[in-house]
Amino acid sequence: MAAYLGRRILQSLLILVGISIVTFVLLYMLPADPAAQVAGRSASPAMIANVRHELGLDQPIYKQYFRYAGGLLQGNLGRSYLERTEVTTLIASRFPATLQLMIGGVICELALGLTIGIIAALRRDSRVDQILMVTMFVTVSSPQFVLGIILLYVFAFELGWFPIGGYGGLRHLVLPSLTLGILGAGWYGRMMRSSMLDVLRQDYIRTARAKGLSRITIVLGHALPNAVLPIIAMIGIDIGNFMGGFVVVESVFGWPGIGNLTWLAIQRIDIPIIMGVTVISACAIVIGNLLADIIVPAIDPRIKLK
Amino acid sequence: MTTPSVTAERPPSTRGKSRVSALLRALARRKLALFGLAVIAVMVLLAAAAPLVAPYPYDQQLADGISLDGAPLPPDMKYLLGTDLLGRDLLSRLIYGARTSLVIGVVANGASVMIGSFIGIVAGFFGRWLGAALMRFTDLMMAFPAQLLAILLAALFSPSLWIVALVIAMVNWVQVARIVYTETRSLARRDFVEAERGLGAGMPRILLRHILPHLFPTLLVFGTLGISTSVLLEATLSYLGIGVQPPIPSWGNIISENQSYFGSAPWLVFFPGIAIILLALSFNLVGDALRDILDPMQKGRH
């Protein structure tokens, strides 16, 4: 176990280093010039050169990278070019908003996805199952912005139940969470259905049935806990993948989170922010995968670590 | 070595006609796949014949396409799906938009399947340090948040149709590479490949005659499902304003042009939205049916 953990953590660290290098090189090769952006539209070439020197952009790329990586090791993501603030401060200030969305989204997708998956599995091959399967196909085929705008139109504009975008209390959180949740529910629902079907075929379920246990006890007490295991692994992976989705959802709903910060930074070529968000999202993905690999064998002793 | 059954190890016939027609018949038996195929066929026809079937030019600001107080017109007999903010016929714009979606979907996904299978095959077949290096790079790319990377790349390179397709390909090849790698590796160790190698067959012959035909089902499934992903990603990038640029109509940029009016002119968001979902859904349905038909491992599991 310890050896396995050690190897996986080392692997994860290497991947993070790799990602920071790839992103850095990618941003370095950009056709756009961040120095010109910072200096402003009416800046003379001399002023731009001056800014470039100030930001350290005139140094060779490996020197720039080592300076960045040195900061990274101390938890320092550098300073934003345009905001003149530490990137860590900026991201931290936006984090609560995005965390709310993430929690809301995960709750929605699990609640919807697991329910749909269980019902579809229990009513296998019936009309209900077919309708649910088609619904899940539709949700995984919908872009976030379309679903977001439609939800806004129906529930905020027409029915007036929720505010039309913006950040605030629980009422503001409902529609963006639903957007993330409905889309994720399609994936979870399909996984849950096939996982449930696998479990329902097992001998111990037949035994439970033979003992005369009620259907509810069998489903909730025996089948569900086993069927849900692969789903737990999925959550870890999913949380990392949320990051890209936030840019879109936050832009549709005017949500002042990390996605919004990233989008602004991309438009203004504020490289330290872009780097910071990419590195942190990659961390989230890597840690999510790592947790999935650690938690699932911990709950289910049948799964052996390699 | 135990005696493997000969039939299970036999490479599938490369004589394709009967297999293709069997595949089509199997597809036709599934209602959902048939629905998907029909939608795709209609959209392809509309897109190909756009100048003939579109009632108006996609970029013409029609004199009577806008109300007296300057608002877009709702759907009626003259403009079947209504008009947009500039008084252009929405149906015509959607038909031309189908071109954008289909071209990018097919080109981007074709490229990502090619990149992915190239890397997967090389890594799986030639193993050793080259394979290890390629797969570590693939792992690394998997830890990138795909959509964020796509947004980043698209925003930072000046957008054009081909750049958008390239960006999508650069993000989506990773999954293909992983699967192809796993399959190639297991194929390369199978008896019939060993036997062929023993008989003195060269790399190209083994690859072409034994590895590729076996990979074909996987590539076909990914080639179909991936178009759905690519269509969705293109729509999202264009919606954000970093994908296909106006005046070229794309379903995504039609929505972003008009979304500030969605309260008073919801059809301007609904119809393109439905178009995106329908197309992505159709490729998903067909791809899923193909996976069901082609992958015997999955049979009986659902």
Q: Per the CB < 8 Å rule, is B240 touching A157?
A: no
- Among the listed residues A109, A83, A81, A145, the one whose alpha carbon sits nearest the alpha carbon of residue A237: A109
pLDDT band at B4 (very low <50, low <70, confident <90, very high): very low
Q: What are the pLDDT digits (tens) for A180-235?
A: 999 889 889 988 998 888 888 888 888 888 888 888 888 888 888 888 877 877 77
Does residue A299 have a pLDDT over 80? Answer: no
pLDDT grade, residue A4 (50/70/90)? Answer: confident
Question: What is the CB neighbour count within 10 angstroms for residue A196?
Answer: 24
How does the average pLDDT of chain A come out, rounded?
A: 84
> Would you call B263 an interface residue with chain A, using a CB distance cutoff of 8 Å?
yes
Has residue B6 got a pLDDT over 50?
no
Structure token pair of residue A260: 């919004």
Does the pLDDT of residue B10 top 50, yes or no? Answer: no
- Chain A, 78-137: which have a CB under 8 Å from a chain B CB? 134, 137
CB-based contacts of A178, cutoff 8 Å, min separation 6: A108, A151
DSSP string, B218-264: HHHHHHHHHHHHHHHHHHHHHHHTSSSPTTS--HHHHHHHHGGGTTT
Q: Do B240 and A247 touch (CB under 8 A)?
A: yes
Across-strand partners of A79? A86
Q: What is the mean pLDDT of residues A269-278?
A: 87
Q: Is B83 helix (H, G, I), strand (E, B) or coil?
A: strand
Q: What is the pLDDT of residue B296?
A: 53
φ/ψ region of A165 (left if φ > 0, alpha if ψ in -120 to 50, else beta) reads left
CB of B284 within 8 Å of a chain A CB? The answer is yes
Residue A94, classified by CB atoms within 10 Å of its CB into exposed (0-12), middle (13-18) or buried (19+), is: buried
What's the longest Cα–Cα distance across chain B?
83
Nearest CA in chain B to A159: B263
A25 at B interface, C-beta within 8 A: no
Is A281 in Cβ contact with B280 (below 8 Å)?
no
ipTM of this predicted structure: 0.86
Residues B34-51 have pLDDT tens digits of 999 999 999 999 999 988
**Which residue of chain B is at minimal alpha-carbon distance from A19?**
B140
Are A153 and B263 in contact (CB < 8 Å)? yes
What is the value of pTM for the model shown? 0.87
Token digits for B276?
Answer: 């995106």
Structure confidence at residue B15 (pLDDT): 54
For residue A175, the model assigns a pLDDT of: 92
Residue A104 confidence (pLDDT): 92
